[in-house]
Structure 1
Amino acid sequence: MPSQADEEAHQLSYLQKHMANILSLLADSTEGGDDDSLVLSVDKFEHLGFLIYFGEKGSAKISLSQNAPFFANSDPDMPAAPVPASQILDWLLQNISSTLEHIADRVSLKESGPSSSPDPDVQMADVGTGSLKPSVSHRGPSFIEGISKSSYVKQASDLKGTSVKVVNCHESVIYILAPLRYATIYGCSDATIVIGAVGKAIRVEHCERVHLITAARRICIANCRECVFFLGVNQQPLIVGDNHKLQVAPFNTYYSQLEEHMSQVGVDPNINRWDEPVALGLLDPHDSLSHPAGVSDVQAESASRVDPDQFTNFVIPNWLEIENAGPTKDNPFPLPDAYLASQQKNIKSLAEVKQILRETQLEENRKRELSSALHACFKDWLYASGNIRQLYCLQGE
């Protein structure tokens, strides 16, 4: 896996290469009709906020237009005049180049300096329009790699930094019950992954049949198949690349320290935009697996909502929380009405079944037959739903 600096540089280089095309898609044409006649309004310019933003670390997010010299301080009652796309392109490329230089300097300093030297963590999102003020992160990301057919738990005290990368894990349940700045899920399959609270962003890439449960400021999903995302997110989920059969649902779990962790990293439980995914980009017309030959300009596939009748809570075993218990006793994100009604219906149905079983008079041999039938049906459901992997934590070493 590439380092955090490598990933940042790669993402910025990609933006640098394609920014002209991105702006041309957003721009409006004036009378001339050539490239010099392309202009961007302030509203179109704000769409770039899906990809970049400017500001100091830890500060409140300011709209992209207020950081641009050509739109800043404009009167809301009198919208700013459109700006030539070429002028905006020059300004963006200048800032991207400056950030790439700082990343290169950081890597060079780290490689040539003593091993104890800090690793400044500069993001494009943290570059101001004036001087750069990188913050310091003393440790790199924690890696969780190659977990297979088991349960794996990490608390805040187990992590060496504030970012985590879960790589190539399969048929497992992974609990990361900690406050984080960044998280990456890469190359995993047939797994359930719980990520506590992520204050900056979580990225999920090249995963198949993964159930991800996370509370985060933002999430980016790329090149995934048949995954389900149970989200408490403050910004719209971003879906890019070649994705198939993705589903989104509201956040569905809790652990005792969750609200404390969310508060530490700035995740707001009162804002959940789980059901507003944005799919960006077009599929490669030369990829025969994505769509049939002869079809071009196919919009990237978005995600569908999980049917409320299929929505269930995910229970984190309380014995996994080996650290001090916190105050959280329930899901901090309010459920939408349809999902809340479905949840209450399931609770009522379960209570009715329990009552019927208690009141039914059966002979001992019939009780044993009923018990065996219930266990068999439950076991079939565990395997069919994939929930069997939640029982790995009960296995002995």
Structure 2
Amino acid sequence: MPSQADEEAHQLSYLQKHLANILSLLSEHVEGEGKESMVLTIEGFEHLGFLIHFGDKGSEGVPLSQAAPFFANSDPDMPAVPVLASQVHDWLLEIIAASLEHVSEKNSAKESGSPSSSDQDIAMSDASPSSAKASQSARSSFFIEGVSKSSYVKQASDLKNSSVKVINCHDSVIYVLAPLRYATIYGCSDATIVLGAVGKAVRVEHCERVHVILASKRVCIVNCRECIFFLGVNQRPLIVGDNHKLQVAPYNTFYSQLEEHMTEVGIDATINRWHEPLALGVIDPHDSLSHPAGVADAQTESAACLDPDQFTNFLIPNWFEGEPTKSTRNNPFPLPDPYFTSQQRNQKNLGEIQQILREAPLEENRKRELSCALHVYFKDWLYASGNIRQLYCLLGD
């Protein structure tokens, strides 16, 4: 698993290599020859904000046009004059080179045992379940790190108006039931992670065998394997990098404050584009950290839709005291017909089995034996699946 510093350097190098192509897509042609015929308007320049962020990590940062010398302090009442794309290209290359040098210095400092103060708040830890698993940085980002073989819950009172980063959590269930601006899930495996309502975007990166349940405007999935995403998203899910065996499914849960949180951050429950994943780019063996050597470029692998027969609801325990009168009592995202039909069929089958057991023509002692046998099998399943640990954690809370 690459470290965050390695991944940051990798992303900067990728941006450095492909910057010219990116700018050419954003530029406009004017009269002239060669490089002089390509210019960038302030609107096109702001689109680079999807890739480049100026400011401290976790902060809102400043608009990209105000961070650059080309458009900063321009008269808001006058249209900004376009600038040469080549000029923007040269300026950004200088910024990227300086950033790469800074990442290199941080790595050197860590290797010598003296991490820089600017990096201390995002250092990954190997915390055990009994250790502190979360930290609130001065930049309003909340970090949940190193949770292992445990359940972990954070609510709106802990995280309001924050961005959340879930890092290196394994074999656990993480509940983040709050309105958020941004969320990042990085380096997790064999876990279930539930995010409340995320108003801007969610990024899931370098995860394996993780179930992610989220309501958000946008989600970007990068370099993940064998993960299932239960999505309520207003924009198409973006899939980038080296991904394998990903599945997407409609949103499958609720908690009492979900609709309130969605309204607060501006998520529209009538729009869910979970089934329209957009795979961007190709896998370049020179750019991917995990791509086998000697393999030619290949199209980024997209995600398949989960079989409706495999679709189940996820039940969130009720931790909320004094529920409001307008509390959410059902999944706010309408289910597509195949998934709704499957859900109804499963509920009907369960009801029929329960009725058969209740009406079974058995003597009382035989009914007690049957009940004991069912309890034994259920207990065996709890232990075999690992869910017994989650049950103990929830009872402990």
TM-score w.r.t. the length of structure 2 is 0.68
1:272 touches 1:333 (CA, 8 Å); kept in 2? Answer: yes
What is the CA deviation profile of residues 206-231 of structure 1, one whole-angstrom value per residue up to 9, with x for unaligned ones?
Answer: 11111110000111111111111100
Aligned-pair RMSD on alpha carbons?
A: 4.5
Contact 1:189 1:210 in 2 (8 A): yes
d(CA) in 1 for partners of 2:146, 2:165: 11
The residue aligned with 2:254 is 254
Name the CA distance, whole Å, in 1 between partners of 2:355 and 2:338: 26
CA contact (8 A) 2:20 2:89 kept: no
Counterpart position of 1:186: 186
Q: Does the 8 Å contact 2:160/2:179 carry over to 1?
A: no
| Cα contact 1:139–1:161 (8 A) shared by 2 | no
- Rounded to whole Å, the distance in 2 between the matches of 1:323 and 1:188 is 33
Correspondence list, 1:8-87, <5 A: 14-22=14-22, 51=50
Q: CA 1:98 to 1:188, structure 2 compared with 1: closer, same or farther past 3 Å? A: closer
Q: For residue 320 of structure 2, what is the amino acid of its counterpart?
A: E
User: Mapping of 1:1-397 within 5 angstroms?
Assistant: 14-22=14-22, 51=50, 139-159=139-159, 161-285=161-285, 290=291, 295-318=295-318, 320-322=319-321, 324-325=323-324, 326-379=326-379, 381-382=381-382, 387-388=387-388, 390-396=390-396
For residue 140 of structure 1, report the CA deviation from its aligned partner. 2.4
Q: Is the 8 A contact 1:16 1:93 kept in 2?
A: no
Q: CA deviation at 1:161?
A: 4.9
User: Residues 356 and 324 of structure 1: is their aligned pair in 2 closer, same or farther, counting only changes over 3 Å?
Assistant: closer
Classify 1:266/1:95 alpha carbon distance in 2 versus 1 (closer, same or farther; 3 Å): farther
Q: Is the 8 A contact 1:258 1:328 kept in 2?
A: yes
Question: Matched residues in 2 for 1:92 and 1:288: separation?
Answer: 26
Bigger mean CA offset, 86-95 vs 342-351: 86-95
* Structure 1 residues 289 and 193, CA gap change in structure 2 (3 angstroms): closer
Q: Distance in 1 between matches of 2:89 and 2:266?
A: 28
Moved more, 374-383 or 192-201: 374-383
Q: Which amino acid letter does the alignment assign opposite residue 162 of structure 2?
A: T
200-209 or 358-367: which moved more?
A: 358-367
Q: Does the CA contact (< 8 Å) of 1:155 and 1:323 recur in 2? A: no
- Range with bigger deviation, 358-367 or 194-203: 358-367
Residues 35/273 of structure 1: CA separation in 2 closer, same or farther (3 Å cut): farther
Structure 1 residue 350, shift from structure 2 partner: 1.1
CA apart distance, 1:374? 2.5
Instruction: Find the counterpart in structure 1 of residue 117 from structure 2.
Output: none
Paired residues, number: 326
Q: Structure 1 337/17 Cα, relative in aligned 2: closer, same or farther at 3 Å?
A: same
Contact 2:35–2:86, Cα closer than 8 Å, also in 1? no
Residues 210, 283 of structure 1: alpha-carbon distance in 2 compared, 3 angstrom cutoff: same
Alignment CA distance shift 1:160-1:198 (3 Å) = closer
- CA–CA separation in structure 2 for the residues paired with 1:353 and 1:174: 32
Which is worse superposed, 371-380 or 267-276?
371-380
Specify whether residues 374 and 151 from structure 1 end up closer, same or farther in structure 2 by C-alpha distance, changes over 3 A only: same
**How far did residue 382 of structure 1 move?**
4.5
Change in Cα spacing, 1:10 to 1:270, as seen in structure 2 (3 Å) is farther
CA distance in 2, matches of 1:142, 1:346: 38
SS of aligned partner of 2:209: coil
Distance 1:393 1:285, change over 3 A: same
Instruction: State the shift of 1:366 in Å.
Output: 2.5
- Assess, with a 3 A threshold, how the Cα gap between structure 1 residues 202 and 367 changes in structure 2: closer, same or farther: same
Which deviates the most, 261-270 or 8-17?
8-17
Q: Structure 1 residues 353 and 244, CA, compared in 2 at 3 Å: closer, same or farther?
A: same
- Tell me, in whole angstroms, the C-alpha distance in 2 between the residues paired with 1:91 and 1:240: 25
Over 3 Å counting, the alpha-carbon distance change for 1:273 and 1:362 in structure 2 is: same
Q: Provide the rounded CA distance (Å) in 2 between the counterparts of 1:356 and 1:386.
A: 29
Question: CA-to-partner distance for each residue in 1:86-143, whole Å, 9 max, x for gaps?
Answer: 9656557768989999xxxxxxxxxxxxxxxxxxxxxxxxxxxxxxxxxxx9742011
Residues 1:167 and 1:155: Cα distance change in structure 2 (over 3 Å)? same
Match of 2:125 in 1: none
Q: Secondary structure of 1:157's partner?
A: helix
Mapped partners of 1:377, 1:167: distance in 2: 35
Amino acid of the structure 1 residue aligned with 2:329: K
Cα distance in structure 1, aligned partners of 2:162 and 2:13: 25
Residues 160 and 178 (structure 1 numbering): CA distance in 2 closer, same or farther, change over 3 Å?
closer
Q: What do the CA deviations read for 1:333-355 (whole angstroms, capped 9, x no partner)?
A: 11111101111111111111111
Q: Structure 2 regions of 5+ residues with no counterpart?
A: 28-32, 54-59, 61-70, 72-82, 99-136
Give the Cα separation in 2 of the matches to 1:364 and 1:38: 89
Matched AA of 1:337: D
Q: What is the percentage of aligned positions where both structures have the same residue?
A: 66
Q: Which runs of 5+ in 1 are unaligned?
A: 28-33, 58-67, 69-85, 102-136
Q: Is the 8 A contact 1:254 1:331 kept in 2?
A: yes
Task: Show CA shifts across 1:210-259 (max 9, x none).
Answer: 11100001111111111111000111111112111111100000111111
Q: What is the distance in 1 between the residues matched to 2:48 and 2:271?
A: 18
Secondary structure in 2 matching 1:195: strand
Counterpart residue identity of residue 347, structure 1: Q
